Amino acid sequence: MPTKITGIKKIFVSVGTHPQAFDRLLKELDSIASKHQELEIFAQAGNSKHVPKNFTFEKFLKGKQFDEKMQWADIVVSHCGAGTIINALLNKKPLIVVPRLKKFSEHTNDHQLDLANALEREHKVIAVFDMNELEEKILKAVSFKPNLSSDKERLIKRISLFLEEQK
Protein backbone atom coordinates (compact mmCIF):
# COMPACT_ATOMS: atom_id res chain seq x y z
CA MET A 1 0.00 0.00 0.00
CA PRO A 2 1.43 3.42 -0.92
CA THR A 3 2.15 6.05 1.70
CA LYS A 4 -0.98 8.02 2.50
CA ILE A 5 -0.71 11.63 1.44
CA THR A 6 -1.46 13.88 4.40
CA GLY A 7 -1.61 17.66 4.54
CA ILE A 8 -3.12 17.81 1.06
CA LYS A 9 -6.74 17.03 0.33
CA LYS A 10 -7.52 18.97 -2.85
CA ILE A 11 -5.45 19.16 -6.03
CA PHE A 12 -6.31 21.39 -8.97
CA VAL A 13 -4.80 20.27 -12.27
CA SER A 14 -4.52 22.53 -15.30
CA VAL A 15 -3.24 21.43 -18.69
CA GLY A 16 -4.05 24.75 -20.34
CA THR A 17 -5.78 25.37 -23.64
CA HIS A 18 -3.04 24.26 -26.02
CA PRO A 19 -4.47 22.32 -28.98
CA GLN A 20 -2.26 19.27 -28.36
CA ALA A 21 -3.29 16.70 -25.74
CA PHE A 22 -1.47 16.19 -22.45
CA ASP A 23 -2.65 12.63 -21.80
CA ARG A 24 0.64 11.61 -20.20
CA LEU A 25 -0.06 13.84 -17.18
CA LEU A 26 -3.73 12.90 -16.85
CA LYS A 27 -2.97 9.15 -17.07
CA GLU A 28 -0.36 9.40 -14.32
CA LEU A 29 -2.73 11.41 -12.11
CA ASP A 30 -5.44 8.81 -12.75
CA SER A 31 -3.06 6.13 -11.49
CA ILE A 32 -2.13 8.20 -8.42
CA ALA A 33 -5.79 8.97 -7.65
CA SER A 34 -6.66 5.25 -7.79
CA LYS A 35 -4.11 4.60 -5.01
CA HIS A 36 -4.95 7.71 -2.96
CA GLN A 37 -8.66 7.80 -2.31
CA GLU A 38 -7.96 10.48 0.31
CA LEU A 39 -7.27 13.01 -2.47
CA GLU A 40 -9.91 15.05 -4.25
CA ILE A 41 -8.56 15.94 -7.68
CA PHE A 42 -10.20 18.22 -10.21
CA ALA A 43 -8.65 18.75 -13.65
CA GLN A 44 -9.10 21.25 -16.41
CA ALA A 45 -8.27 18.65 -19.08
CA GLY A 46 -8.16 20.84 -22.18
CA ASN A 47 -7.81 19.02 -25.48
CA SER A 48 -6.57 15.80 -23.89
CA LYS A 49 -8.10 12.55 -25.09
CA HIS A 50 -7.69 10.57 -21.85
CA VAL A 51 -10.90 10.39 -19.82
CA PRO A 52 -10.01 10.25 -16.10
CA LYS A 53 -11.69 7.44 -14.17
CA ASN A 54 -10.58 8.40 -10.66
CA PHE A 55 -11.13 12.16 -10.52
CA THR A 56 -13.47 14.79 -11.88
CA PHE A 57 -12.65 17.07 -14.77
CA GLU A 58 -13.96 19.54 -17.30
CA LYS A 59 -12.36 20.22 -20.67
CA PHE A 60 -12.24 24.00 -20.22
CA LEU A 61 -13.07 26.46 -17.46
CA LYS A 62 -14.19 30.05 -17.71
CA GLY A 63 -12.07 32.63 -15.87
CA LYS A 64 -14.21 32.72 -12.72
CA GLN A 65 -14.40 28.90 -12.55
CA PHE A 66 -10.61 28.69 -12.96
CA ASP A 67 -10.09 31.22 -10.15
CA GLU A 68 -12.49 29.34 -7.88
CA LYS A 69 -10.66 26.04 -8.43
CA MET A 70 -7.33 27.78 -7.81
CA GLN A 71 -8.65 29.11 -4.47
CA TRP A 72 -10.18 25.71 -3.59
CA ALA A 73 -6.95 23.74 -4.06
CA ASP A 74 -4.28 22.93 -1.51
CA ILE A 75 -1.78 22.48 -4.35
CA VAL A 76 -1.76 22.94 -8.12
CA VAL A 77 -0.35 20.52 -10.70
CA SER A 78 0.04 22.07 -14.12
CA HIS A 79 1.69 22.07 -17.49
CA CYS A 80 4.42 24.70 -17.52
CA GLY A 81 2.22 27.44 -18.94
CA ALA A 82 2.88 31.02 -17.90
CA GLY A 83 -0.77 31.85 -17.11
CA THR A 84 -1.25 29.04 -14.62
CA ILE A 85 2.19 29.63 -13.09
CA ILE A 86 1.50 33.32 -12.50
CA ASN A 87 -1.96 32.57 -11.12
CA ALA A 88 -0.66 29.92 -8.70
CA LEU A 89 2.17 32.16 -7.47
CA LEU A 90 -0.17 35.13 -7.00
CA ASN A 91 -2.43 32.85 -4.96
CA LYS A 92 0.57 31.52 -2.99
CA LYS A 93 -0.22 27.93 -3.95
CA PRO A 94 2.46 25.23 -3.98
CA LEU A 95 2.86 24.44 -7.67
CA ILE A 96 4.08 21.31 -9.39
CA VAL A 97 4.86 21.87 -13.06
CA VAL A 98 5.14 19.12 -15.64
CA PRO A 99 6.52 20.47 -18.91
CA ARG A 100 4.82 19.42 -22.13
CA LEU A 101 7.43 17.80 -24.36
CA LYS A 102 7.84 17.80 -28.11
CA LYS A 103 8.96 14.14 -28.18
CA PHE A 104 5.51 13.10 -26.89
CA SER A 105 3.73 15.45 -29.36
CA GLU A 106 2.49 17.55 -26.43
CA HIS A 107 3.88 20.79 -27.86
CA THR A 108 5.67 22.10 -30.92
CA ASN A 109 8.95 22.65 -29.02
CA ASP A 110 10.49 22.21 -25.55
CA HIS A 111 10.26 25.77 -24.22
CA GLN A 112 8.27 24.52 -21.20
CA LEU A 113 11.27 22.41 -20.20
CA ASP A 114 13.48 25.51 -20.10
CA LEU A 115 10.91 27.44 -18.07
CA ALA A 116 10.47 24.57 -15.59
CA ASN A 117 14.24 24.36 -15.04
CA ALA A 118 14.53 28.12 -14.47
CA LEU A 119 11.59 28.29 -12.06
CA GLU A 120 12.76 25.28 -10.07
CA ARG A 121 16.24 26.83 -9.71
CA GLU A 122 14.54 29.92 -8.23
CA HIS A 123 12.53 27.68 -5.85
CA LYS A 124 9.24 28.98 -7.23
CA VAL A 125 7.90 25.57 -8.31
CA ILE A 126 8.50 21.85 -7.97
CA ALA A 127 9.30 20.50 -11.43
CA VAL A 128 8.61 16.98 -12.65
CA PHE A 129 10.89 15.85 -15.48
CA ASP A 130 10.12 12.13 -15.12
CA MET A 131 6.44 11.25 -14.79
CA ASN A 132 7.34 8.39 -12.41
CA GLU A 133 8.32 11.07 -9.86
CA LEU A 134 4.93 12.82 -9.79
CA GLU A 135 3.56 10.97 -6.75
CA GLU A 136 6.77 11.63 -4.79
CA LYS A 137 6.64 15.32 -5.76
CA ILE A 138 3.02 15.57 -4.57
CA LEU A 139 4.23 14.28 -1.18
CA LYS A 140 7.00 16.89 -1.25
CA ALA A 141 4.49 19.66 -2.04
CA VAL A 142 2.96 19.26 1.43
CA SER A 143 5.84 21.23 2.93
CA PHE A 144 6.87 23.27 -0.13
CA LYS A 145 6.80 27.04 0.31
CA PRO A 146 7.37 28.78 -3.03
CA ASN A 147 9.83 31.64 -3.21
CA LEU A 148 7.48 34.53 -3.92
CA SER A 149 10.15 37.20 -4.11
CA SER A 150 10.30 39.18 -7.29
CA ASP A 151 13.28 40.36 -9.27
CA LYS A 152 11.40 43.63 -9.71
CA GLU A 153 12.30 44.81 -6.19
CA ARG A 154 15.93 43.83 -6.69
CA LEU A 155 16.05 45.71 -9.99
CA ILE A 156 14.53 48.83 -8.39
CA LYS A 157 17.15 48.71 -5.61
CA ARG A 158 19.97 48.33 -8.13
CA ILE A 159 18.70 51.27 -10.18
CA SER A 160 18.23 53.37 -7.03
CA LEU A 161 21.79 52.62 -5.89
CA PHE A 162 23.10 53.46 -9.34
CA LEU A 163 21.24 56.77 -9.36
CA GLU A 164 22.52 57.61 -5.85
CA GLU A 165 26.08 56.96 -7.02
CA GLN A 166 25.59 59.36 -9.92
CA LYS A 167 24.81 62.37 -7.64
* CB under 8 A, 24+ apart: contacts of 138-142: 138/5, 138/8, 138/11, 138/32, 138/75, 138/77, 138/96, 139/3, 139/5, 141/8, 141/75, 141/94, 141/96, 142/5, 142/6, 142/7, 142/8
Predicted pLDDT at 159? 66
The mean pLDDT of 36-64, rounded to a whole number, is 96
Predicted pLDDT at 126? 97
Predicted pLDDT at 1? 43
How high is the mean pLDDT of the chain?
A: 90
Q: In CATH, which superfamily holds the domain spanning 10-165?
A: Glycogen Phosphorylase B; (3.40.50.2000)
Domain positions in the chain? 10-165
pTM over 0.85: yes
